[in-house]
């Protein structure tokens, strides 16, 4: 017992001696100092966050107080039918937003409206680069049938509550926030179209495959710097005549911008402006144009040719691709040089019942 007590006493004495040493005191003190430093840093961080939030709030209210500039939309508010005018319109909206001006998107008077234009509008309004912390205001078109297209699309929900997935009266409007290929969304969109147009869920591989290839195209090619950076949007709109309209888009760099031609000379010639994007349409549709992705180059590039192949199916009434300054009718192969650039890729197609 005595031996054990002596041992404990020794340990205690050694510890007490150690506690008096400079090294021990320094270590303990630095721990306290470190704790204080951390607490002070966190306080600073919290204060900075608060200042930043207050500043952002102030800027927002300041921005809100600015009178928006009214920009009158083209009477034919359809990207597919009136491509150049619509692109020019959004170019003007974008340029005002970049100047930190608010914009009143005046579509009150429009005479026609298609679902593709609604999809494009929602994508722009939800794109932070495009919005540049400015504000877009507007109201639905005066014509009742056009206003209905707006409300049915879930437009208000998207613009004001940043909803992720909405099905309204059998329509689908979806923004893929993870930027990936989501087969479940392809199935949902497929089912809406198949049930509206054919009356039942019939096997229609082409429609499903197109949706997957469109998502894959955005995931891999829409951004120059990094895969999966770009968001995609899909809008499935069943119209009143058993036709289902599909709009699939991303606001990336566009197919031609992301392409990489095989020959060095063509690249150089394109750079100096001898070749235009439209000159590469055939190569694009044949899958001969390479993207910037290096991996598995020899086996990749089958997505666009697959979409082109399916577009020839009689069940597709219309099939349009708009990317950069080119509009292509995939059913006929006709292309149109656009006067305005669309930074992104827009696929639009309609499915119709068997005749």
Question: Least distance to other proteins from the beta carbon of 287, Å?
Answer: 7
* Under rule CB under 8 A, residue 252 binds other proteins: no
Classify residue 2 as left (phi > 0), alpha (psi -120 to 50) or beta. alpha
Segment 107-146, which members bind other proteins (CB under 8 A)?
none
> Which of the 8 DSSP states describes residue 111?
S
Closer to other proteins by Cβ: residue 221 or 237: 221
* Under rule CB under 8 A, residue 340 binds other proteins: no
Distance (Å, whole) CA 194 – CA 64: 44
Question: Least distance to other proteins from the beta carbon of 302, Å?
Answer: 4
Question: Least distance to other proteins from the beta carbon of 295, Å?
Answer: 8
Closer to other proteins by Cβ: residue 149 or 307: 307
Distance (Å, whole) CA 114 – CA 143: 13
Closer to other proteins by Cβ: residue 166 or 209: 209
Q: Nearest Cα to 222, choosing from 38, 69, 345, 139?
A: 345
* Under rule CB under 8 A, residue 76 binds other proteins: no
Segment 182-221, which members bind other proteins (CB under 8 A)?
182-184, 186-187, 190, 203, 205-209, 212-213, 215-216, 219-220
Closer to other proteins by Cβ: residue 110 or 207: 207
Segment 157-186, which members bind other proteins (CB under 8 A)?
180-184, 186
How many residues of this chain bind other proteins (CB under 8 A)?
31
* Under rule CB under 8 A, residue 352 binds other proteins: no
Q: Give every CB contact of residue 164 below 8 A, 6+ residues apart in sequence.
A: 174, 175, 177
Q: Give every CB contact of residue 188 below 8 A, 6+ residues apart in sequence.
A: 167, 172, 174
* Under rule CB under 8 A, residue 49 binds other proteins: no
Distance (Å, whole) CA 50 – CA 353: 58
* Under rule CB under 8 A, residue 228 binds other proteins: yes
Tokens representing 232 are 């995609």
Three-class DSSP category at 100: coil
Closer to other proteins by Cβ: residue 217 or 324: 217
Write the binding mask 295 to 314 for other proteins: x where contact by CB under 8 A, - elsewhere: ---xxxxxx-xx--------
Distances (CA, A) of 206 to 60, 180, 216, 229, 345: 46, 20, 15, 27, 20
* Under rule CB under 8 A, residue 2 binds other proteins: no
Distances (CA, A) of 310 to 46, 252, 344: 56, 24, 22
Question: Least distance to other proteins from the beta carbon of 227, Å?
Answer: 7
The answer to whether 153 touches 168, Cβ cutoff 8 Å, is: yes
Q: Nearest Cα to 105, choosing from 87, 117, 93?
A: 93
Question: Least distance to other proteins from the beta carbon of 80, Å?
Answer: 25
The answer to whether 217 touches 284, Cβ cutoff 8 Å, is: no
* Under rule CB under 8 A, residue 280 binds other proteins: no
Binding residues vs other proteins (CB under 8 A):
180-184, 186-187, 190, 203, 205-209, 212-213, 215-216, 219-220, 227-228, 287, 298-303, 305-306
């Amino acid at each position: 017992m005595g031996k054990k007590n002596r041992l404990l006493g020794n340990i205690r004495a050694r510890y007490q001696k150690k506690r008096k040493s400079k090294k021990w005191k320094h270590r303990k003190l630095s721990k306290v100092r470190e704790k204080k430093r951390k607490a002070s840093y966190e306080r600073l961080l919290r204060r900075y966050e608060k200042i930043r939030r207050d500043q952002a709030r102030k800027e927002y209210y300041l921005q809100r107080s600015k009178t928006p500039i009214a920009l009158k939309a083209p009477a034919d508010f359809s990207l597919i039918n009136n491509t150049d005018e619509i692109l020019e319109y959004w170019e003007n909206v974008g340029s005002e937003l970049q100047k930190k001006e608010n914009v009143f998107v005046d579509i009150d008077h429009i005479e026609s409206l298609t679902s593709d234009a609604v999809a494009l509008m929602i994508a722009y309004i939800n794109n932070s680069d495009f919005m540049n912390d400015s504000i877009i205001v507007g109201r639905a078109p005066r014509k009742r049938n056009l206003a209905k297209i707006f409300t049915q699309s879930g437009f208000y929900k998207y613009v004001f509550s940043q909803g992720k997935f909405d099905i309204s009266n059998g329509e689908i409007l979806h923004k893929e926030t993870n930027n990936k290929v989501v087969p479940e969304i392809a199935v949902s969109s497929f089912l809406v179209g198949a049930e509206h147009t054919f009356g039942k869920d019939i096997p229609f591989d082409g429609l499903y495959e197109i949706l997957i290839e469109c998502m894959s195209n955005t995931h891999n090619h829409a951004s120059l710097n990094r895969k999966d950076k770009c968001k995609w949007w899909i809008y499935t709109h069943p119209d009143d005549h058993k036709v289902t309209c599909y709009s699939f888009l991303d606001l990336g760099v566009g197919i031609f911008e992301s392409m990489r031609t095989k020959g060095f000379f063509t690249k150089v010639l394109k750079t100096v402006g001898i070749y235009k994007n439209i000159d590469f349409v055939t190569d694009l549709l044949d899958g001969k144009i390479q993207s910037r992705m290096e991996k598995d180059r020899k086996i990749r590039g089958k997505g666009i040719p697959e979409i082109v192949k399916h577009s020839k199916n009689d069940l597709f009434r219309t099939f349009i691709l708009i990317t950069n300054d080119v509009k292509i009718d995939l059913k006929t192969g006709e292309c149109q040089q656009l006067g305005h650039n669309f930074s992104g890729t827009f696929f639009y197609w309609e499915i119709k019942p068997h005749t």
